[in-house]
């Protein structure tokens, strides 16, 4: 968690900050995104249209799990949603994918069937085992930010190294508070995690009834995670990727769309190697804004998630104060979106983004190096696969 400020259920932007926020002259909030006129075979210039992020967060604060979307307000949503069953839409998806532009896909029968299986009572317990423990990421609040523990130890212990290569965010200097992050890795069974997830969701819903639609942001949250190793030879995992068990060797069969080299989701099979990562989130947990280098297809198999995306580029990374490569939280934003401090991070006022709410059975394509933040609006099950980057073409 970035400790720049704690989540405030009654947060409003300070009055002297408001003059820094301007409405988008190209895309007024009274305009409605029109799928038929804006999602053409050749993307419209500037797709996806992006909006002032501070306005977006004021309309729907990052710690709320029931925002304007619940009221059918899509003012800040501008991603195309394509249907798998529509031949023209499939051509559009191929075009947008080639141009490295994000989009949502709905109606893939294989994804829908997998979602149906995974939501059957007892199915995941049988697949994952009752007593098998998996990597689970613990955060003392609902904000989760990746921290490379090896780099953190080196970074904290070597003053000369910090001075030579401080890893400060692009956009300027400020106190590095990421080193105080207390995220830890624990081992937990699926059933242990699920019990905590239901407990957290019940508390969150109770908080929502008493104090508005806020997540229970100042209580611990856990990310349950597992990953296939990709290649098995003679029963042995040939990858040094995340903690896995042979029990997951069949995950590629469960989600063939994320493992088959000929799948639409796999762009460079030799860079993907059959690996699938799955993350289960508790209601309210937020993944700090960051970017990934590879292409990323995300499949939502349960629940509902909010994604905030912003296009890549050094200038935009500066607006988001992205930590540089030497930092333990490289590629992640230094700004706490719950209480953005424009005195410390003035360029954040210029940050622009779009948002989308992904529902069970839908797929999101995030191109290389696009900044994205993810909020679980309920208990969620997401699996994804990376397959190379545009630099490999």
Q: Which two tokens stand for residue 197?
A: 């997830």
pLDDT for 388 equals: 73
Q: Model-level pTM?
A: 0.82
Looking at 3.30.70.100, 1.10.460.10, 3.30.360.10, 2.60.120.10, the CATH number of the domain 34-392 comes to 2.60.120.10
Residue 376's closest CA among 139, 211, 177?
A: 139
Q: Which residue ranges make up each domain of the chain?
A: 34-392
pLDDT-above-90 percentage for the chain: 50
DSSP state of 294: S
pLDDT for 34 equals: 76
Q: Which two tokens stand for residue 150?
A: 């090896």
pLDDT for 113 equals: 97
**Candidate from 112-121, 159-168, 191-200, 279-288 with smallest mean pLDDT:** 159-168
Q: What is the pLDDT of residues 2-45, one digit of tens each?
A: 333 322 323 333 333 333 333 333 333 334 577 777 899 999 99
Q: Position of tokens 């296009």?
A: 311
What is the strand order of the sheet 184-189 is part of? 81-83, 103-106, 363-366, 296-302, 380-386, 277-281, 221-227, 133-139, 184-189
Residue 183 has pLDDT above 90, yes or no: no
**Candidate from 16-30, 120-134, 219-233, 332-346 with smallest mean pLDDT:** 16-30
Intra-chain end-to-end CA distance of the chain, in Å? 35
More confident residue, 27 or 106: 106
118 φ, ψ to 5°? -70, -20
Residue 146 has pLDDT above 90, yes or no: no
pLDDT for 220 equals: 87
In angstroms, the Cα distances linking 283 to 153, 180, 378 are 31, 24, 4
pLDDT for 345 equals: 95
pLDDT for 66 equals: 79
pLDDT for 382 equals: 97
Contact 369, 293 (CB under 8 A): yes
């Amino acid at each position: 968690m970035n400790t720049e400020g704690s989540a405030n259920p009654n947060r409003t932007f300070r009055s002297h900050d408001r003059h820094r926020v301007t409405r988008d002259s190209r895309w007024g909030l009274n305009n409605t995104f029109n799928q038929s006129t804006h999602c053409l075979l050749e993307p419209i210039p500037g797709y996806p249209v992006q909006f002032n992020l501070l306005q977006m967060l004021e309309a729907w604060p990052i710690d709320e799990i029931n925002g304007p979307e619940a009221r059918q307000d899509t003012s800040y949503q501008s991603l195309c949603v394509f249907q798998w069953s529509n031949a023209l839409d499939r051509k559009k998806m191929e075009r947008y994918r080639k141009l490295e532009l994000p989009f949502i896909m709905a109606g893939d029968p294989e994804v829908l069937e997998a979602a149906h299986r995974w939501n059957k009572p007892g199915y995941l317990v049988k697949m994952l085992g009752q007593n098998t423990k998996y990597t689970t990421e613990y955060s003392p609040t609902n904000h989760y930010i990746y921290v490379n523990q090896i780099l953190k130890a080196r970074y904290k212990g070597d003053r000369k190294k910090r001075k030579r290569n401080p890893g400060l965010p692009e956009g300027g200097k400020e106190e590095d508070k990421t080193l105080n992050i207390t995220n830890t890795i624990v081992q937990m069974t699926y059933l242990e995690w699920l019990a905590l997830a239901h407990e957290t969701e019940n508390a969150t819903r109770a908080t929502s009834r008493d104090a508005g639609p806020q997540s229970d942001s100042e209580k611990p949250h856990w990310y349950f995670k597992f990953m296939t190793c990709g290649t098995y030879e003679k029963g042995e995992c040939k990858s040094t990727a995340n903690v896995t068990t042979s029990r997951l060797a069949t995950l590629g069969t469960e989600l063939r769309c994320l493992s088959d080299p000929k799948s639409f989701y796999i762009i460079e099979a030799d860079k993907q190697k059959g690996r699938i990562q799955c993350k289960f989130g508790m209601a309210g947990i937020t993944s700090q804004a960051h970017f990934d280098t590879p292409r990323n297809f995300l499949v939502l198999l349960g629940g509902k998630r909010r994604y905030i995306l912003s296009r890549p580029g050094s200038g935009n990374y500066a607006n988001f104060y992205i930590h540089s490569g030497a930092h333990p939280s490289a590629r992640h934003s230094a700004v706490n979106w719950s209480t953005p401090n424009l005195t410390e991070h003035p360029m954040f006022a210029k940050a622009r983004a779009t948002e989308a709410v992904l529902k069970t059975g839908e797929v999101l394509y995030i191109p290389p190096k696009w900044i994205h933040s993810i909020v679980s609006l309920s208990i969620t099950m997401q699996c994804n696969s990376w397959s190379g980057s545009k630099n490999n073409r």
